[in-house]
Amino acid sequence: IMLTQSPATLSVTPGESISLSCRASQSISTNLHWYQQKPNESPRVLIKYASQSISGIPSRFSGSGSGTDFTLNINRVEPEDFSVYYCQQSNSWPLTFGSGTKLEIK
Amino acid sequence: QVQLTESGPGLVHPSETLSLTCTVSGFSLTGYSVYWVRQPSGKGLEWMGRMRYNGDTSYNSALKSRLSISRDTSKNQVFLKMNSLQTDDTGTYYCTRVPRGGYYFDYWGQGVMVTVSS
């Protein structure tokens, strides 16, 4: 299953609220997870199963979607949020990731 | 607390075999599955294979012919071996944990950078 993330790069000002997109090549129900990766760090999971929160992750991160279209929302971007975001599907094997969206400071 | 730590050589010559070790703590390998994920330099993430809690393994078909994953539960270690390395295998290799009943990665190691070069 291919995951297409858009945009590839998003330039925003801290304090803005944004949405990142992940589109699957076929229906994956809600078997979609979101990760954040900061430079020179390992990824960390932000959202599981499309919309379920993860303990310890700030509440400004939320997810939505089902089927083929998914969205990661960040309410009022903080300076520490500028990084790369990946989606990952677990509906079928092999597990696959999107190519990522880089969130950068405008 | 849960920790995963990868170790292995930083440099591998083309056509040789890569051997990596993932040492875990804070959980049991008979209770949780460990997955390997790699990230070619400057690129995205690729799932490689897994060692399930019950000892079963499965692999990404794109790598299956070159890849082997095993474990030593007494040492809390999972091993990855991949042969016939080429330059496009250069990147960071992570071991990760998957929660019981889930298929997302809740804990990651710090990663080990592997360079394939002569």
- The letter for the amino acid at B107 is Y
Chain A neighbors of B109, CB-CB under 8 A: 42
Contact B47 A42 (CB under 8 A): no
State residue B101's pLDDT score.
87
Structure tokens at A72: 């990661």
pLDDT at B61 exceeding the cut of 90? yes
Report the C-alpha gap between A89 and A82 in whole angstroms: 23
Report the C-alpha gap between A69 and A46 in whole angstroms: 17
Contact A93 B62 (CB under 8 A): no
- The letter for the amino acid at B33 is S
Contact B61 A94 (CB under 8 A): yes
Tens of pLDDT, residue by residue over A82-103, are 999 999 999 999 999 999 999 9
pLDDT at B42 exceeding the cut of 90? no
Exposed, middle or buried: residue A89 (CB in 10 Å: 0-12, 13-18, 19+)? Answer: buried
Tens of pLDDT, residue by residue over A34-70, are 999 999 999 999 999 999 999 999 999 999 999 999 9
| Range A69-81 average pLDDT | 97
State residue B98's pLDDT score.
96
| Range B76-103 average pLDDT | 96
- The letter for the amino acid at B16 is E
Band (B33; pLDDT cuts 50, 70, 90): very high
Please provide the average confidence, as pLDDT, over all residues in chain B: 96
**A39: helix, strand or coil:** coil
Query: Token match 């690729």: residue?
Result: B46
State residue B47's pLDDT score.
98
Determine the distance in angstroms separating the CA of B84 from the nearest CA of chain A, rounded to an integer.
21
Q: Classify residue B31 by its DSSP letter.
A: T
